[in-house]
Chain A
Amino acid sequence: MKLSHRWLARHLKEAPDPEKVALGLLQMGIEVAAVETWGEIYQEIELVEVVERLPHPHADLLSLVTVRRAPNDLVTVVTGASNGYCGDRVWYAPPGAHLPDGRVLETVTMRGIPSPGMLLSAAELGFQDTTGDLWIYHGDLPLGSRFIEEVGGTDTVYELELTPNLAVFDQSVLGIARELAAVLKLELTPLNAPLPYRKDSGLAEVKDPLACPIYGLSGFEIAGVKHSPLWMQVLLVAIGIRVIHPVVDVTNFILWDLGHPLHAFDQERVVLPIEVRKAFEGEVMTLLDGSECQLSPADLVIADQIGPIALAGIMGGQRAAISAQTRQVWLESAYFNAPEIFLSMRTHRLPTDAAVHFGKGTDPEMVPVAAQATVDILRSCGVRVNNGSSTIIGEMPIRRRISFQPDRIRSLLGVDWTNQAIIHALHGLRFEIDGDWVTIPSNRHDVSTTEDLCEEVARVIGLDMISATVPNSPNVPGSRNDEVEFQERLRDLWVESGYCEVVTRPFWAPSRDVITMSDVAATVRIKNPLRAEEEELRTSLLPHLLEVVGYNRARRDQPVAVFELAPVYERTQNHAKEPMQLAVAEILDDYPQYPKGLPEDLAIYRLKGALEWVNRRLNLGISMVTDRELPDFMHPGRSVSVLDTKNRWVGFLGELRPRVASRYHAKRIGVLSLFEVYHTQSAISGVVPSPSRYPEVIRDLSLVVPETSTVGILNGIVMDTSLSDLKSLRLIDVFSGPWGRSVTLRMVFQSNSRTLTDSEVDVQLTHLIEVLRRHGMTMRER
């Protein structure tokens, strides 16, 4: 909402300066989004007098008009206007002047004759147009005066942002003035008296008094002047409202002045009585903007005996609209039930100025006040108004009362303000306190509880006046739950392992699938996605992570190693689950660097090692096996399934098929996908062994193993042999020759109770070699 400082001053006996206004607005919670000065361009527009008018030598419709600028400067400009003769005083914009429509004037040559600047019409100055010709000035300003003086000087215009609660009562200059009066302790200018409605019968009937508690209709005749008064035009133009016709301008003015929308109908086009009723099923009307409106029984309409003439509180219909020919007017001033208007506004997507006022709630007591204000303004500007018949239907609602609990206000705010201070603050906002009761002003539909009053008191006295304290609740240490703590550790471990955390949006669409996860859960679809490729919620993290790989890979040749720990979304009939998943992706391709890293062909061991490290650090108790079925996008020779302690399949690790990896601009991509992350954690609790005081004995064992065998099988055999003093077993070399596959293990023996002798170790080794031989594994000769 725009607020003109000049307009505001009409409601305050002593208007504060613009800075003070801004401070007051801030304290009341009204956000000032912008402040601008209106009217600066009018400094450049001068009052001049026509001294000569000659026909243009080369154009029939143009004239050469010579004007006198103060003190005695003559300028000749070309004009197409049909008025402006010797002695007329008109407004002149010299070259360099700016017009409201954004034009900057310069000297132009029209049919061979240079024309410096321009003589102006009212429309060109942004005011109500009359004939399209020059705006002849009849006032008392001396020659050379600037147009800004005619409009009363510049104005400060605030762009206000109102929260929904403030919009209930603050969407008007009066509303803001009342707020400022309370906070800055100013006196308001009294409003005009209400219109004394007669109770003429046969004019109107309210069929739905719940939707329309009060309906006022007053008829009058308009004749005479066709212009709105300049002061009103200036105020409307300053807040960006176009001025059109006195009746329209006045209703716009009252809407923003008092926050009360009015509507005018052409009497000659209305067949009485008017009915305020719900629309019939299938009823249609053409609105003022020319659009067809399909009505339903949820819509409240103003109808005559032919059909609807207005969508109540939102927009008038074309059939009974005011036109230039209108002589007799029905002025409607009503009070509607806000939620009904709000619903219709939303249904028909018609957030008109009237609708956003009625839809938030208006002040019923304004019904007769606004009607009288309209008549007063029309009269004051010379429009002849003969009061005709009028009626008002419905009773003024009784102001609501709630109990006054100053102790509770103090205890909620944490202050020791006196009753007197609290009452004074509420009085400022027109609340009336009578003993134990507070009477709420008729426009404050937002107030119904003591908590609401707390806000009002705090606003008026100021939040700064409340001291900052600390809750005196008992001190309980804060905690994270185990599952979240686990997730944070998991993130840290992957970061420590060299992977960068990413955060992706959970929106997905099947059209983005490059890989297809088998047996995925049913998806949750978004009914109103922002874009087609975000039409559902993901059931797997891995595809997103691969897109991150591809995105980075398409930009630069750099290693990419990323992970994300986030929920996925699965539906089971009408319910949704949000299990956490972990996904890791890493490009394995050789990257030119010195010194060289792990060769591309073995790089997947890095990812596998990272999982093994995480597995140990967090006691996940997972195992990796090669004998389970894997997703078909995985490399069949370089992948493992991940099993939990109960041997359930909880994920997979390995390389993508190179054909799939190439879709993400890489030769080889290693991935890990882990579902049910938290529940893989086993309950095993480890005991850290004490260090041995005795020396280690080291033996390297080089074996030739069958091609069908694996290091895993070999390790298994060694562990199963239960060598009593074997402390650790480490693979130190693997290679293949014409004689088969060679595997070298480093075995470390150590006792906790004595120094081992070589012969003791050799006995154990001999036994092991014998066992291995039975499995076709022999000592390598050389």
Chain B
Amino acid sequence: MALLDSNEWQDLSGKLAAASTSVQVQELRAEWIGRRGRITLALKALSNLSPEERRQQGQVLNAAREQATRLIDERLEQLRQQEEDRQLLNERLDMTIAGVEPKVGLLHPLTRVRRLLEDLFLRMGFSLAYGPEIETTWYNFEALNIPENHPARDMQDTFFVDLPGMVLRTHTSPVQIRGMEAAAGSLPVKIIAPGRVFRRDDDATHAPMFHQIEGLVVDRGITLGDLKGTLVAMATELLGASIGTRFRPSYFPFTEPSVEMDVTCAACGGTGCRTCKGTGWVEILGSGLVHPVVLQNGGYDPQEVSGFAFGLGIERLAMRIFGLDDLRPLYQNDLEYLMAFDRYTGRPML
């Protein structure tokens, strides 16, 4: 029995390459390594040889059989792959078509800004407190040191309702009194009160209903320095470490002394522009040490404790964060507008 020469191998390789179906390959398998295949027969014929020759030829033939098996299996795998590709390409999709996005809604931008503030103050140890929107004039005015005929009542144009002694609250400050009452003399009182407030005003920067967050801290030894420290921490957290802050004396009947906080103008970065009237600063909130009358009305002795309070407009902050110059669309609920807030807006992450 002659050794398989290279011509015979070329014959097998050529035929495998020419085979275009697995059936043809199986035929070749039978021809070469099947029961009556050429290599199989040659192996059977070995028994006629001397042990020496049998061992030599046997090694060669077994190697040949392994190689033939490998060539055939490789070709079969190749053909199987080609057939699968053909099938899969038949179910080809136009992958340039836009995907079906998960159908989720979006929180209103004011809710997102409110939560941002709430989370920030919660981290600073403030608890949330609430009060009614239809409020008594006592809580809305008198308790806050704004008696009848006080000039400050002119500052806030009030909506009156047909319930005796009630108004739509003009600020979240009544919750200062309610919060102190709820604390019932315990210390510290450390609350923020987010909520809707109402003023009789309607233009690009004033809405008849808008949202405020009130803050109140009452304890022994609270100082104006503490107010500054707390509010600067808040501004830094909200608007970034590079934000500049400054405090100016101001006036609110329920705080004494009263101060307003400005932050560097977002539009110009502090160099002065139209938005900030050339000053480089924009007002962000009003605050001050709680007026002794207010502490008293909340059930605390101003000789024993002191406190600070602040109030900021959520809309105003939203306008700053999202770069808006008109707050009316926030209430028009045009979904195209509201859904435009789905984009990442930089810092703070909303």
The residue in A163, A166, A343 that gathers the most chain B C-beta atoms within 10 A of its C-beta is: A163
The residue in B105, B155, B228 that gathers the most chain A C-beta atoms within 10 A of its C-beta is: B105
Q: Assess the A524–B162 pair: CB atoms within 8 A.
A: yes
Q: How far is the CA of A527 from the CA of B121 in the complex (A)?
A: 36
Q: How far is the CA of A472 from the CA of B225 in the complex (A)?
A: 12
Q: Assess the A499–B105 pair: CB atoms within 8 A.
A: yes
Q: How far is the CA of A474 from the CA of B208 in the complex (A)?
A: 39
Q: Give the shortest distance, in Å, between A525 (CB) and chain B (any CB).
A: 4
Q: A164-B151, A454-B257, A530-B208 are in contact. Are A415 and B225 (CB under 8 A)?
A: yes
Q: A29-B250, A479-B127 are in contact. Are A495 and B277 (CB under 8 A)?
A: no
A576 contacts the other chain (CB 8 A): yes
Q: Give the shortest distance, in Å, between A470 (CB) and chain B (any CB).
A: 5
Q: Assess the A414–B277 pair: CB atoms within 8 A.
A: no
Interface residues on A, range: 35 or more
Q: Assess the B217–A471 pair: CB atoms within 8 A.
A: yes
Q: A468-B225, A495-B104 are in contact. Are A342 and B149 (CB under 8 A)?
A: yes
Q: Give the shortest distance, in Å, between A560 (CB) and chain B (any CB).
A: 6
A649 contacts the other chain (CB 8 A): no
Give a binary string over B214-252; 1 marks a CB under 8 Å from any A CB, 0 the rest: 000101011111101110110000000000001111110
A684 contacts the other chain (CB 8 A): no
Give a binary string over A503-536; 1 marks a CB under 8 Å from any B CB, 0 the rest: 1111100000000000000001111111000100
B164 contacts the other chain (CB 8 A): yes
Q: Assess the A524–B163 pair: CB atoms within 8 A.
A: yes
Q: Assess the A505–B208 pair: CB atoms within 8 A.
A: yes
Q: A469 contacts which chain B residues (CB < 8 A)?
A: 223, 225-226, 228-229
Q: How far is the CA of A468 from the CA of B162 in the complex (A)?
A: 46
Q: Assess the A339–B123 pair: CB atoms within 8 A.
A: no
B103 contacts the other chain (CB 8 A): yes
Interface locus among B55-63, B129-137, B171-179:
B129-137
Q: Give the shortest distance, in Å, between B109 (CB) and chain A (any CB).
A: 9
Give a binary string over B129-152; 1 marks a CB under 8 Å from any A CB, 0 the rest: 010111000000000000001011
A496 contacts the other chain (CB 8 A): yes
Q: Give the shortest distance, in Å, between B220 (CB) and chain A (any CB).
A: 8
Q: A552 contacts which chain B residues (CB < 8 A)?
A: 333-336
Give a binary string over B92-121; 1 marks a CB under 8 Å from any A CB, 0 the rest: 000001001001111110110001001001
Partner pick for B232 among A33, A464, A468, A497, CB 8 A cutoff: A468
Q: How far is the CA of A563 from the CA of B111 in the complex (A)?
A: 13
Q: A503 contacts which chain B residues (CB < 8 A)?
A: 108, 110-111, 330-331, 333
Q: A501-B107, A524-B162 are in contact. Are A560 and B187 (CB under 8 A)?
A: no
Q: A412-B306, A496-B104, A501-B111 are in contact. Are A360 and B223 (CB under 8 A)?
A: no
A502 contacts the other chain (CB 8 A): yes
Closest residue to B155 on the A side, CB-wise? A164
Partner pick for B247 among A165, A463, A562, A595, CB 8 A cutoff: A463
**8 Å CB interface, B255-277 against A:** 256-259, 277
B161 contacts the other chain (CB 8 A): yes
Q: Assess the A501–B105 pair: CB atoms within 8 A.
A: yes
Q: Assess the B229–A470 pair: CB atoms within 8 A.
A: yes
Q: Assess the A455–B249 pair: CB atoms within 8 A.
A: yes
Partner pick for A528 among B104, B105, B200, B246, CB 8 A cutoff: B200
**8 Å CB interface, A5-40 against B:** 26-29, 31, 33-34
Q: Assess the A470–B226 pair: CB atoms within 8 A.
A: yes
Q: Give the shortest distance, in Å, between B121 (CB) and chain A (any CB).
A: 7
Q: How far is the CA of A33 from the CA of B277 in the complex (A)?
A: 8
Partner pick for A29 among B196, B249, B306, CB 8 A cutoff: B249
Q: Assess the B335–A500 pair: CB atoms within 8 A.
A: yes
Q: A496 contacts which chain B residues (CB < 8 A)?
A: 104-105
Q: Assess the B151–A342 pair: CB atoms within 8 A.
A: yes
A537 contacts the other chain (CB 8 A): yes
Q: Assess the B223–A527 pair: CB atoms within 8 A.
A: no
Q: A477 contacts which chain B residues (CB < 8 A)?
A: 122, 125
Q: Assess the B209–A164 pair: CB atoms within 8 A.
A: no
Q: How far is the CA of A91 from the CA of B249 in the complex (A)?
A: 47
Q: How many chain B residues have a CB neighbour from A under 8 Å?
A: 83
Partner pick for A449 among B250, B292, B331, B332, CB 8 A cutoff: B292
Give a binary string over A443-469; 1 marks a CB under 8 Å from any B CB, 0 the rest: 000000101101100110001101111
Q: A480-B122, A500-B338 are in contact. Are A468 and B229 (CB under 8 A)?
A: yes
Q: Assess the B168–A463 pair: CB atoms within 8 A.
A: no
Q: B16 contacts which chain A residues (CB < 8 A)?
A: none
Closest residue to A524 on the B side, CB-wise? B161
Q: A473-B219, A481-B128, A506-B209 are in contact. Are A576 and B250 (CB under 8 A)?
A: no
Q: Assess the A478–B338 pair: CB atoms within 8 A.
A: no
Q: Assess the A505–B209 pair: CB atoms within 8 A.
A: yes
Q: Assess the B249–A459 pair: CB atoms within 8 A.
A: yes
Closest residue to B218 on the A side, CB-wise? A473
Q: Give the shortest distance, in Å, between A664 (CB) and chain B (any CB).
A: 13
Q: How far is the CA of A499 from the CA of B122 in the complex (A)?
A: 27
B85 contacts the other chain (CB 8 A): no
User: Chain B: interface secondary structure?
Assistant: mixed
Q: Assess the B333–A502 pair: CB atoms within 8 A.
A: yes
Partner pick for A478 among B127, B161, B333, CB 8 A cutoff: B127
Q: A92 contacts which chain B residues (CB < 8 A)?
A: none
Q: How far is the CA of A359 from the CA of B154 in the complex (A)?
A: 13
Partner pick for B291 among A451, A478, A484, A501, CB 8 A cutoff: A451
Partner pick for A473 among B163, B217, B292, B332, CB 8 A cutoff: B217
Closest residue to B221 on the A side, CB-wise? A411
Closest residue to A168 on the B side, CB-wise? B151
Q: How far is the CA of A5 from the CA of B202 in the complex (A)?
A: 36
Q: Assess the A558–B336 pair: CB atoms within 8 A.
A: yes
Q: A33-B277, A551-B333, A574-B164 are in contact. Are A495 and B125 (CB under 8 A)?
A: no
A242 contacts the other chain (CB 8 A): no
Q: How far is the CA of A497 from the CA of B202 in the complex (A)?
A: 34
Q: B108 contacts which chain A residues (CB < 8 A)?
A: 501-503
Q: A138 contacts which chain B residues (CB < 8 A)?
A: none
Q: A766 contacts which chain B residues (CB < 8 A)?
A: none
Q: Assess the B331–A504 pair: CB atoms within 8 A.
A: yes
Q: How far is the CA of A529 from the CA of B107 in the complex (A)?
A: 29
Q: A458-B257, A473-B190, A499-B105 are in contact. Are A478 and B222 (CB under 8 A)?
A: no
Give a binary string over B306-342; 1 marks a CB under 8 Å from any A CB, 0 the rest: 1000000000000000000000001111111011000
Q: Assess the A530–B105 pair: CB atoms within 8 A.
A: no
Q: How far is the CA of A595 from the CA of B104 in the complex (A)?
A: 17
A567 contacts the other chain (CB 8 A): yes
B9 contacts the other chain (CB 8 A): no
Partner pick for A507 among B160, B208, B219, CB 8 A cutoff: B208
Q: B334 contacts which chain A residues (CB < 8 A)?
A: 551-552, 555
Q: Assess the B226–A414 pair: CB atoms within 8 A.
A: yes
Q: A480 contacts which chain B residues (CB < 8 A)?
A: 118, 122, 127-128
Partner pick for B97 among A164, A166, A473, A594, CB 8 A cutoff: A594
B124 contacts the other chain (CB 8 A): yes
Q: B188 contacts which chain A residues (CB < 8 A)?
A: 471, 473-474, 476
Give a binary string over A670-685; 1 marks a CB under 8 Å from any B CB, 0 the rest: 0000000000000000
A265 contacts the other chain (CB 8 A): no
Q: A467 contacts which chain B residues (CB < 8 A)?
A: 225, 228
Q: Assess the B125–A478 pair: CB atoms within 8 A.
A: yes
What are 21 sample pairs from A and B whose C-beta atoms fall under 8 A apart? A33-B277, A34-B277, A342-B151, A451-B257, A451-B292, A469-B223, A470-B229, A471-B188, A473-B190, A474-B188, A476-B188, A478-B122, A488-B115, A524-B134, A530-B200, A530-B202, A534-B208, A551-B334, A558-B335, A575-B163, A576-B132
Beyond known contacts A458-B257, A471-B188: 6 more, CB 8 A cutoff: A167-B151, A346-B154, A455-B258, A503-B111, A503-B331, A571-B163
What 6 pairs across the A-B complex have the smallest Cβ distances?
A: A414-B223, A29-B249, A414-B225, A455-B257, A163-B251, A468-B229
Taking Cβ atoms with an 8 Å cutoff, the residues of A that contact B are 26-29, 31, 33-34, 163-167, 339, 342-343, 346, 359-360, 411-415, 449, 451-452, 454-455, 458-459, 463-464, 466-481, 484, 488, 491-492, 494-507, 524-530, 534, 537, 548, 551-552, 555-556, 558, 560-563, 567, 569, 571, 574-576, 578, 594-595
